[in-house]
A = this chain, B = another copy of it.
Amino acid sequence: MNTLEEVNDFVHHGHQEYLPHVSIDPVIFGYYQQKLKILLLRWKGLDGWGLPGGFIKRREPLSQAAYRILHEKTNLSDLFLQQFHVFGDSPYRVQERSGREYKEKFGLEVEPDNWLLERTLSIGYFALVDYSKVSVTTDYFTEDYYWFDVSDIPPLLFDQNETVEKALLTLRLQIYHQPIGYNLLPEKFTIPEIHTLYETILGKELDQRNFSKKLIALGLIKKLDERRSIGAHRSPFLYQFEKEQYEQALQEGIMHTY
């Protein structure tokens, strides 16, 4: 979609290709060197930052749509997207929209019963990646992107601040019962490394000794019979995520082996 003609076609005939009433809005968390950030796009014509969202094709499986949208909007692929919530309660998600902004921003006349003005529920997905390894490419609709610190998210389009808050809440809940950070650490890591990761994600300090004891008690990590040699008198033990045990537990629906 690179011309006004194509945008016009999307607005007036997009309902033939896409399901109305439901959008997908991915929240991409990026971690690197003790910082947790979120990927936001600046949408052309909309004067604000927002999530890389889009619509589901009429015969497209839901998860496939989430990956396609993210890839189209950011060029990101090969990351594990996890569905976390459907938003349909806020006033913005209950009402219809006005066609006025299409007229003002794009000079498009939009009929009152246009599919893009109808009530739209939003399905939230999230992922956690190492943002130093990510190269984002914006598309025609988006003129810029930026990794915002989670403690400094600007006012977002629509109700998307709520989406980001709920994604962060879910991420913070899940790090204690899913090996969610395993792709952000070396395969074998030290306690200070995972401690820093968890402090960053949770946004607060954790007592290091209790922290590691609990992670082991929960069956999330295990201590290896191996050390890393850092200096003359420093060779901390290495640890590993209990990833297989976790995946099996998830399959069986039982997370902790009490």
Tell me, yes or no, whether A206 is within 8 Å of chain B by CB.
yes
Q: Which of these, B20, B172, B210, contacts A254 with CB under 8 Å? A: B172
Residues of B within 8 A of A63 (CB): 88-89
B177 and A173: CB pair below 8 A? Answer: yes
Query: Are B88's CB and A61's CB within 8 A?
Result: yes
Interface of A is mostly: mixed
CA distance A123 to B93 in the complex (A): 15
How many monomers of this chain does the complex have? 2
A220: min CB distance to chain B, Å: 11
**Are B206 and A62 in contact, CB atoms less than 8 angstroms apart?**
no
Please, which residue of chain B has its CB at the minimum distance from the CB of A20? B21
Interface residues on A, range: 35 or more
Q: Which of A52-60, A70-78, A179-187, A230-238 lies at the interface with chain B?
A: A52-60
A75-87 CB mask vs B (1 if < 8 Å, else 0) is: 0000000010111
Interface CB pairs A-B, < 8 A, 6 = A20-B21, A62-B86, A172-B254, A177-B177, A202-B254, A207-B258
